[in-house]
Structures are given as C-alpha cells and as structure tokens.
Amino acid sequence: MDWHTLGNTPFLPPLYWRAALKRKVNGTTLPEQGLRCWMSVDPRHLAAYRKVCGFDNSPILPATYPHILAFALQMQLLTARDFPFPLLGLIHLSNRIRILRPLGSVGYLQVSVKTQNLQPHAKGATFDLITTMEDSLGPLWEAESRMLCRGVKLPGEVADDALLPPIDLTELTRWKAPADIGRRYARVSGDYNPIHLSALSAKLFGFPQAIAHGLWNKARTLAALEQHLPTANIEINVAFKKPVRLPAEVTLLSSAPGANGELQLMGASDIEHMSGRWRPLA
C-alpha cells in the first residue's frame, strides 16, 4: 500500500459535487494508494457530536468519533478518479471498531484511510473501508466498514459472513429517532447523503422516508452502553439490517455487562435494525 500524506483535512464542498456527478461503475479494481493526515480534536465540535449522539461528557473520546475525524479523508478517497464505484448508492453493511488503547488525552493524531478486500456478493461487490488513528506512541484505534456496490459482477464464490443472531438479551433502554436526526447528524459528521436528510430527498433514491445514518445508530447505541463496555482492548462489531425510517422509536436489547456481550436494535413490529457483539481483542 502506497500512502499520500495531506497537509490539511480535505475541503468537503468540491467532494460533494464530485460524488453527485459520478453515477456509474468504471472498473473493478480498488486504488492502491491510501490517504493520511495529521489533525487535532476540536472541543466544540466534539461537544456537538456528543450531544447529537447521546454521549456523556468524558475525558475519553466516544468510540465512534474517529469516524468523524476521518470523514473528509474517506470522501476524498471514495470520490477519486481511480476509485471504481459511485459513492452515492453505496450501502454500509457492517462496521467493526477496535480500540487498542484508551482514547483519553488525545491531541495531535494521524488518521489514515484505505480500501481493500474486494469480494463478490449476492447483490454486487463488497469492499472494506479501513480507517486507523494513531498518536506519537503508535496505533490507538482502527475500524473496518464493509460497503456494498450493487450490480457489480466479480468472479469467485460469494462469502457468507453474516453475524449470528444474538441470544439471551433483555431490554436496556429505548429512544426516539426524530425526523430531523439525519440533518442534525449530518452537521456534526459531514455526511450529507440525501437519503438521510428529508423524505423528499430520500424519495429521489427510492426510500419512502429519510433513514437514520447507520453510524448514528451505532453511536447512539454505544452511548447507551457506555457503562457496559471497557474503554480499551475491545472490538465492537455490528451488522446493519433494516434501515430506521424517520421518525421512529427503537429499543436496545443487550446482554449483561461483561468482557463479552451482544446487542440488538429493534423497531416496531419486531423489525431488526442492527445486531452486534463486543469482545476483548485477541
């Protein structure tokens, strides 16, 4: 993997325009270059993110916050000319976070993004978007988001890597996902995908209502589980199932606090929105 180090965080508006213009698949090879950038945490932005996602004030960064730091780098990588798939229309299937050391007292950080592991899928092709964060002492945090591009045909066997359904869960809490949560999360995340912003913009992409961001669902879940989970040496893996159509009320089911656990986010009529588990790092 070759790395290109940027001097500044990419400016998002031109990247939105580039994403809007690209609508077709133009290849089946992932780029061999990743992007890196040194950046700092803005306390005011972090406070706004905590508020939108339900995290308490803490000296420890929320487990999902590095995704926010990385978003502009991810946008630049996924809208580059050598990236083969259109960004609009990609489907986020799953997300795995590994916290290697406590995310406390973090200052100057290097965030890196790359793509890898292009694989055939029953509905197209998947790839992994890999994001890592490190400080002067070394790696802190890493994540793998599995993305689906529909309609791409690749040779090879289709893998079945779905998570098994959780068992022995009890209701922990529930919350409302208001109609404007997509717009509120967009303001703190930078992710202005039209399917999340309003019913009108979502209908342009085949959704009858706006849907909540998958990473907001995960962040809001981890905020509710803060007292359940250790602050480091943990892997948290979730699979996104049926989207949360806004507005909605959802219920979080969880196993008991412990080193290993499982979770499930459910909606009305027993619709499963997200399932997952946490484990100590091997």
What pLDDT does 41 receive? Answer: 94
**Residue 170 belongs to a domain with what CATH number?**
3.10.129.10
Burial (CB count <10 Å: 0-12, 13-18, 19+), residue 215: buried
What is the total count of domains within the chain?
A: 1
The parent domain of residue 77 ranges over 2-280
What pLDDT does 161 receive? Answer: 65
What pLDDT does 168 receive? Answer: 83
Omega prior to 230 cis, within 30 of 0: no
What pLDDT does 259 receive? Answer: 86
Residue by residue, pLDDT tens for the chain (282 residues) are 899 999 999 999 999 999 999 989 999 999 999 999 999 999 999 999 999 999 999 999 999 999 999 999 999 999 999 999 999 889 999 999 999 999 987 778 999 999 999 999 999 999 999 999 999 999 999 999 999 999 898 888 787 666 677 778 999 999 999 999 999 999 999 999 999 999 999 998 889 999 999 999 999 999 999 988 999 999 999 999 999 999 999 999 999 888 899 999 999 999 999 999 999 998
Closest by CA position to 263, among listed 173, 163, 169: 169
What pLDDT does 163 receive? Answer: 66
Please give the Cα distance from 212 to 209 (Å, whole number).
10
Where are any strands of DSSP class E within the chain? 2-6, 33-40, 91-99, 108-121, 124-135, 138-150, 170-177, 234-240, 248-254, 261-266, 272-280
Structure-token match 């939105």, residue found: 16
Q: 140 near 109, Cβ under 8 Å?
A: yes
What pLDDT does 162 receive? Answer: 65
